[in-house]
Structure 1
Amino acid sequence: MLDALTVAVAVTALLLAAWCGHAAYKDQPTKDWHFIGMAVVTVLAFAQLVVGIVQLARGERPEQGMAVFIAYLIGSFAAVPAAGVLSLSERTRWGSVTVAAGAVVLAVLEVRLYDIWGN
């Protein structure tokens, strides 16, 4: 995997988590600009998904198993969009908390992807 992309996804996810956590602290739901932030993080996660699939197609293999790697790769791509959809159904501060939690989950998944790949 590309280490720089993994770090970029994790850092932007943590920034999104802090931003939405601050909104929740101020008792605000997710706003349009939060969804723009979610889109940026999702685009980075999609780029990582594509890079991971390309590396697997070229014959490179993760150290800890391909099935586990693919599952984490798909999960990391889906974490923030799923939290965003849930936040639309909860238009209170808890929607912001949901997105913050989803972004933290994504950051943790990135660390695990790094470990699974075996750098």
Structure 2
Amino acid sequence: MLDALTLVTGVAALLLAAWCGWAAYRDQPTKDWHFIGMAVVTLLAVVQLVVGIVQLARGEKPAQGTTIFVAYLLGAFACVPAAGFMSLTERTRWGSITVAAGGVVLAVLQVRLYDIWGG
């Protein structure tokens, strides 16, 4: 797995979490620019998903098993879009809190992906 991509994705997820947490602190729902941030973080997760699948297809194996690695990759890919969708249904500060929580979860998943790969 690419360590730099994992690090960049985790940091971007934490920045998104801090940004949306600040919006929640100010009692604001998610706005259009938050969704742009979510799109950037999701794009990084898509790139990571593709890189992970390509590495598996080339015969490289994660240290802790392919099945769990793929499950974590899919979870990392779906984390922020799911939080963004839920924030659309909750147009209060709780929508921003949901996205902030999704960013934190994605950052934790990045650490776990690094561990599973054998980092």
TM range (shorter): over 0.9
Output the CA distance in 2 between the equivalents of 1:109 and 1:47: 15
How far 1:49 sits from its partner (Å)?
0.1
Q: Which amino acid letter does the alignment assign opposite residue 77 of structure 1?
A: F
Structure 2 counterpart of 1:3: 3
TM-score with structure 1 setting the length: 1.00
- Cα deviation for residue 40 of structure 1 reads 0.2
- Residue in 1 that maps onto 2:109: 109
- Unpaired runs of at least 5, structure 2: none
Instruction: State the TM-score, normalizing by the size of structure 2.
Output: 1.00
Which residue matches 1:87? 87
Q: Which residue of 1 aligns with 2:69?
A: 69
1:76 deviates by 0.2
SS where residue 59 of structure 2 aligns?
coil
Any idea what the Cα deviations from partners look like across 1:6-54, whole Å, max 9, x if unmatched?
0000000000000000000000000000000000000000000000000
Matches within 5 A, 1:41-56: 41-56=41-56
Partner in structure 2 of residue 32 of structure 1: 32
Rounded to whole Å, the distance in 1 between the matches of 2:43 and 2:20 is: 18
Aligned length: 119
Partner SS for 1:60:
coil
Q: Distance in 1 between matches of 2:63 and 2:18?
A: 32
Corresponding residue number in structure 2 for 1:14 = 14
% same residue? 78
Quote the Cα distance in structure 2 between the aligned partners of 1:12 and 1:66.
26
Distance in 2, Cα, partners of 1:46 & 1:5: 11
Per-residue Cα deviation, 1:49-78 (whole angstroms, up to 9, x for no partner) = 000000000000000000000000000000
Deviation at 1:86, TM superposition (A): 0.1
Runs of 4+ with >4 A deviation: none
Partners of 1:65 and 1:57 lie apart in 2 by 14
1:83-105 CA distance string (max 9 Å, x none): 00000000000000000000000
Q: How far 1:110 sits from its partner (Å)?
A: 0.2
